[in-house]
Amino acid sequence: EPGAGSDLASLATRAERDGDHWIVNGQKVWTSGAHKARWAILVARTDPDVPKHRGLTYFLCDMTDPGVEVRPLRQITGEAEFNEVFLTDVRIPDSLRLGEVGEGWRVATATLMNERVAIGSGSDPGRESGMIGVVARTWRQRPELRTPELHARLMRLWVEAEVARQTGRRLRQKLAAGQPGPEGSAAKLTFARLAQQLSGLELELLGAEGLRYGDWTMKRPEVVEFTGKDAGYRYLRAKGNSIEGGTSEILRNIIAERVLGLPPEPRTDKDVPWKDLPR
């Protein structure tokens, strides 16, 4: 939401019970794919009188409801993958509630942990695939671009990409056996760093040629595709990797607290009713 990004639990979209339905009012933002989605997942506040994490409920939302309005948000790449979504008296049947009333945070956390694994290591098309594959191909095809310094950087990133791929395989095996743990946050953090470093290296490799940018007219892509586009697109799109699915700062906090067991950030709002929190 505009006022609840990293601090998702402070969200303000309200769902009020009306018989066997819920009436939802509020606004969401950065909703990827909302313009083509038939269904959305939606977390709404059902009880403002309890602390923020406890008053949330998780729903499936029919995007064809007349109260749902979707507006494009254009990104630095020129594309509009995501949207603002305005919800005005949207009616959701109680049968489309996922989990118990007030248990939305638990369901949302499971969703987010799965999302981080999906972004960080969702699939394995094989060694030297994805961004490292693109850069390695440019390196092989364009020997005139090489310098010893760029070679050292490419080799280091190649090894890191391979370690990340192998770690992702292990993570998916664990996932198949149960719920993903906070390790998914580490996979997503590493993915974002590698994507940004590799796309930066590709631009440096290509020099002035890397500044060329094919088409900046607004498009509504069906899928987010890194390969098969300009190096400039990859460089710009990779910037969002350290924001989407939880920023790198938030992921470092999760790893610090849940993997390394370091002291948590001070949280003064944990036991305060949501309605009394400053916004």
Ligand X SMILES: Cc1cc2nc3c(=O)[nH]c(=O)nc-3n(C[C@H](O)[C@H](O)[C@H](O)COP(=O)(O)OP(=O)(O)OC[C@H]3O[C@@H](n4cnc5c(N)ncnc54)[C@H](O)[C@@H]3O)c2cc1C
**Residues involved in catalysis:** 115
Q: Which of 247, 255, 269, 273 binds ligand X (CB under 6 A)?
A: 247
Q: Which of 26, 104, 120, 246 binds ligand X (CB under 6 A)?
A: 246
Is residue 235 at the binding interface for ligand X, with CB under 6 A as the rule?
A: no
CA atoms within 13 A on the CB side of 76: 10
Residues 55-114 that bind ligand X (CB under 6 A): 82
Binding mask 189-228 for ligand X (x = CB under 6 A): ----------------------------------------
Residues 252-271 that bind ligand X (CB under 6 A): 253, 265
Using CA atoms, how far apart are residues 94 and 101, in angstroms rounded to an integer? 10
CB 188 within 8 A of CB 119: yes
Tell me which stretch binds ligand X (CB under 6 A): 26-34, 123-131, 209-217, 225-233: 26-34
Is residue 243 at the binding interface for ligand X, with CB under 6 A as the rule?
A: yes
CB 23 within 8 A of CB 13: no
Q: Which of 22, 30, 58, 191 binds ligand X (CB under 6 A)?
A: 30
Question: CB of residue 31 vs ligand X: minimum separation in angstroms?
Answer: 5
Question: CB of residue 118 vs ligand X: minimum separation in angstroms?
Answer: 12
Which position's Cβ is nearest ligand X? 5
Is residue 240 at the binding interface for ligand X, with CB under 6 A as the rule?
A: yes
Q: How many residues bind ligand X (CB under 6 A)?
A: 15
Using CA atoms, how far apart are residues 184 and 245, in angstroms rounded to an integer? 11
Whose Cβ is closer to ligand X: residue 206's or residue 236's? 236
Q: Which chain residues interact with ligand X by CB under 6 A?
A: 5-6, 30-32, 82, 240, 243-244, 246-247, 249-250, 253, 265
